[in-house]
Amino acid sequence: MPTVRIYDLLLPRKMKARPRVYSASEMARIVSSADEPLGTICFVLGSTGMRIGEALALRIEDLDFQRKLIHVRHSVFAGTLDSPKSEASKASLPMPLDLAFRLKTFLASKHYRQNSLELLFANRRGRPFSANKLREKKLRPLLSSLGILPAGFHAFRHGVATTLIDHDASITTVGAQLRHSDPRITLGLYAHVIPQSQRDAVESLASALGSGQLLTQRLIADSASTKSFVS
């Protein structure tokens, strides 16, 4: 009987669990159902793919309505403004027209609180909101009422990425929007997402197979080839 060595027995690789992702429809339901300022915060997250700490750190000067840009310069950690996760995270993101309108509406409403830090979103003390408190006291109860599986704010970021890919955005484009330092990070996270163009292609193929269209086309091609040879 052959000897089995321990190092010949390879354990299966531990598969990373796929991150919780809000679908486009779930993000829309959350945004439309949330009270302010949570509704606008979630609109920012779902429109840009920003991290929650970056969204809570936005200041009025970071909103460039003229050039339709949002400048990511800070992030909130433990209730204080700090630098973002990495140098690559500091960037200017496109501000969609719908987001620009939502932000202007929010700034003109009673929900915007003027504060010495000139934060876009400030609590009653004029300080940055706590992401943990917002998640537990506001987001989680809302998800429960909507029948959406519990998740955190980061599911918006993943939702933005998967929705963009599903609408045929390239990995490079998604990586730029999420501000990943290396495209391999984006690919590693979202390689499993199937773009709509791929779905459409296989739908067309299956339809053609099911209807006999491919066989008909082949017979016509063979017939044309035979006639050409005979003539």
pLDDT at 9: 47
Amino acid at 154: H
Segments of the chain scoring below 50 in pLDDT: 4, 6-9, 11-12, 229-231
Residue extents of the structural domains in the chain? 24-190, 197-230
3-state SS assignment for residue 147: coil
pLDDT in tens, 165-223: 999 899 999 999 999 988 888 888 888 888 888 888 888 888 878 876 655 556 556 55
CATH topology of domain 24-190: hpI Integrase; Chain A (1.10.443)
pLDDT at 7: 46
pLDDT at 36: 98
Characterize 51-88 residue by residue with b for buried, 16 or more Cβ atoms within 10 angstroms of its Cβ, and e for exposed. bbbbbbbbbeebbeeeeebbbbbbbbeeeebeebeeee
